[in-house]
Chains A and B, each alone.
Chain A
Amino acid sequence: MRPMWILALPLVAACAAASARPAAQTPAPAAVAETTSVQRPQYPSSYRRHQNPPVLIRNATIMTATGQEIAGGSILFRDGRIVSVGATVDAPADAVVIDGTGKYVTPGIIDDHSHLGVYAAPGTDAESDGNEATNPVTAEVWAEHSFWPQDPQIPLAIAGGITTIQALPGSANLIGGRSAVLKLIPARTVQEMKFPGAPYGLKMACGENPKRVYRNRGPSTRMGNMAGYRAAFIQAEGYRQRWDKWNRTHQGDPPQRDLRLESLAEVLRGNMLVQNHCYRADEMAQMLDLAHEFGFKIRSFHHAVEAYKIADLLAREGTAASVWADWWGFKEEAMDGIHENAALVQAAGGRVVIHSDDPGGIQRLNQEAGKAMQAGNRAGVPVTRDQALRWITANPAWVLGIDSIVGTLEPGKMADVVVWSADPFSVYAKALQVYNDGWLVYDRNDPAHQPRTDFELGQVPAPGGDR
């Protein structure tokens, strides 16, 4: 018999806020014949847009991340959507008008590699929920089931202009589990933060970490790592075939559901995006071969300190490189990190993301992008301001499969907007206001818009306040 859970109709984008959005470019929701369980309304987003008056920011430098930097420009957003961007924009009578003189406006910043919520502060074992390090392949675990919305690191990141994150499992495992793509807003539950319609990512990890964690039981070598991925995807191929066949025919009992293989089958169908922690150039090339063997794409190599060595290959494959501006040397596979990594990948036609992987770094991705841009410029590998802005907006949006919804300042896009005190690539710039889907979630000059988590109440002094 068909189990009850298959009777419910597909309702992935069962959210009012999402229904008004353009569909994500990639991946399209899978056709029914190509789905198993994830097409059901399981663990849905309960995200709702907050009601807010229209906002007009005028006479600011508007950096759109679409190639334009409009001096003395304006931007109007209403009902969570950007209405217009340009040199002159008429203010509706009911709009809140912000004087942007001397200020800069960018899209909301997106971090495609965060462990907020899964490795929450204050950082005790009780909040250590990022690595299910009990098996080298744990595709069955989902980061959202670890995510703690009261992580006090969340408001700090919001104050840095972050509007969307991908919260990832850690890198202990070859296949660590599903990521959560989240609106970074104050919320009681992770469901309220889940980015409506965003595809899941699958965390995979190369190199030193898995082989160190599992050295006693295996894998204990890089070749063992590769064999581990392959064995998992071979199983997933069979699982996918069984389910796809059953979904076409509905003959007999449905196959036994397997949570681990369900995630991997979604990768094979192209519905889930592979987010691959991988440092070394030669290992990235191995992982691309793995992807070819099983017919999936690797969306981005995360950390990728040696991306510059194979920038041509990454550009050809269409795999992004999510990198730090300058981290290096903390382990052997990170020894060859260079300042110009991002610039060289950009110059080769690759897609660059500056990511954080760090609760400190996420607060200043604008600075990190500025640092990487200037390193390129100084070395004779020029990077434009728009390109550098895309490293922390449009490009991570693409990595997360939500680039048709967020990542640029264009009419129709979600009103994720940051107002900066100065050029965001300056060390002295601070986010003054952060709008998430049109909601003023942070205002540096107004304590009424400086959200605090439950954790902070009564034990972490308020910003600017004494104990």
Chain B
Amino acid sequence: MITLLLAQTIAITGGTVYPVSGPKIEHATVLIRDGRIAAVGTGVPIPADATRIDAAGKWVTPGLIDGGGQMGLVEIGAVGGTREGRVQGDTIAAAFNVAEGLNPASQLIPVTRIEGITTALATPGGHLVSGQAVLIDLDGATIEQMLVKSPVGIVADLSEGAKDEGGGSRAAVAQRLRTVFRDALEYERRRVDFSRAQIEPLAASEADLEALLPVLHGQVPLLVIANRRSDIETALRLAREFKLRLILAGAQEAWEVAGDIAAAGVPVLVEPLDNIPSYDALGVRYENAAALARAGVKIALLETNTHNSRDLRQQAGNAVSYGLPWDQALRAITLTPAEVFGVADRYGSLDVGKVANVVVWSGDPFEFSTGVEHVYIRGREIPLTSRQTELFERYRHLPPAY
């Protein structure tokens, strides 16, 4: 439900353009009209009414997509009143869609988008089945204006984090999920009996079972957090049994079974800078992203620290340091997440007709020396200001003027 507020034409000229869907183009123009990309390439005629942005010497990429975190769902980590990403008391919370918890006025949004992140997954958490994740653009006065897609997937947790809810054993977690999935299908077959209470109690509420049906019919992905190799294998097994569209997230030991994941055609959301061993994943290592990509797994990168979603760039740069080819790293924060989340027809690359989320950088987006020069979200130029830039301006000369 893209809302295009502005009828405006913008021509970003002379930059090195990284469409992501194809090779980079030197001295190229990106033409934005009415919130969409109207043209990309050299020799693009520039309409007389276009606002011209000189990008000579600059790099132009699609807006970056963070495939994780809780953008819009958390303001201050330690303040419960500002957290919306977890519904209380419901182990199977499949019906919980986070969208109406989004805060379009969140301070994190300007802080993040002025560093080139234009789109993010807002993910529920905290349960065995935590709810429905949604994809948002980091602009818009209302929830409706921010939403790109809802739901993107239903989040389930096969990591150590959900064990208590699953019954204290990894085996119980898997069995619990199986029971819930079977009961959802049973519920679907016997809706009438259910409404007359002529059925044994089922493993989750009616609303949650109903919400799982699109997952069980392969219409909505199940986004599974799993880190240990055996948990990843359990996720793959469940996906085979129930014919699920699976997305793996976290997946710290995925490099150990990269071939199996590739063979299953399952995409993986990876946080490249994960490398602290835990009993959930003793095999966690920096090379995970590169190893998966080498095996042919479709990967998208995450920065799960929502306040520093802007460090997605640093995550990508480090993935490159540890073996991921640069072009694939850029793809893993643009076009690949768009594909994984089912919005590649509109997002993720600089192609004609796509939503005009575009960033002009002073150089390599992964480098610290690089600054953001322009950000466009749905064709709207985003002012490069945030609460943090205001604090900086206030205190750059002491004492401050209040």
Contacts and interface: CB of A to CB of B under 8 A. Distances in A.
Interface of A: 121-124, 152-153, 156, 208, 308-312, 326-332, 335-340, 344, 348, 359-360, 363-364, 367, 370-371, 373-374, 377-379, 381, 425-430, 455-456, 459-461, 463-464, 466-467
Contacts of B107: 329
What secondary structure prevails in chain B residues at the interface with A?
A: loop
A461 B283 contact: yes
Interface residues on B, range: 35 or more
B401 interface: no
A330 B78 contact: yes
B16 to A, nearest CB: 19
Contacts of B275: 156, 360, 363
Interface in B360-402: 366-369, 371, 388-389, 391-392, 395-396, 398-400
A312 to B, nearest CB: 5
B76 A427 contact: no
A340 B371 CA distance: 14
B392 A338 contact: yes
A78 B387 CA distance: 51
Contacts of B398: 309-312, 348
Given A311-B398, A344-B395, A427 B318 contact: yes
Nearest to A371: B368
Interface stretch (B7-15, B117-125, B168-176, B305-313): B305-313
What secondary structure prevails in chain A residues at the interface with B?
A: loop
A359 B108 CA distance: 25
Interface of B: 75-79, 107-108, 229, 256, 273, 275-279, 282-283, 285, 287, 307-308, 310-311, 313-314, 317-318, 320-321, 366-369, 371, 388-389, 391-392, 395-396, 398-400
A374 B368 CA distance: 6
A328 B275 CA distance: 22
Contacts of B392: 308, 338-340, 344, 379
B321 A329 contact: no
Nearest to A372: B368
Contact of B77 (A330, A359, A373, A381): A330
Contacts of B307: 327-330
A426 B367 contact: yes
Contacts of A364: 273, 318
Given A338-B391, A460-B277, A122 B282 contact: yes
A333 to B, nearest CB: 9
What 6 pairs across the A-B complex have the smallest Cβ distances?
A: A427-B317, A331-B78, A330-B77, A329-B307, A370-B368, A374-B368
Given A331-B76, A426-B368, A123 B278 contact: yes
Contacts of A338: 388-389, 391-392
Given A326-B310, A370-B368, A430-B321, A459 B396 contact: no
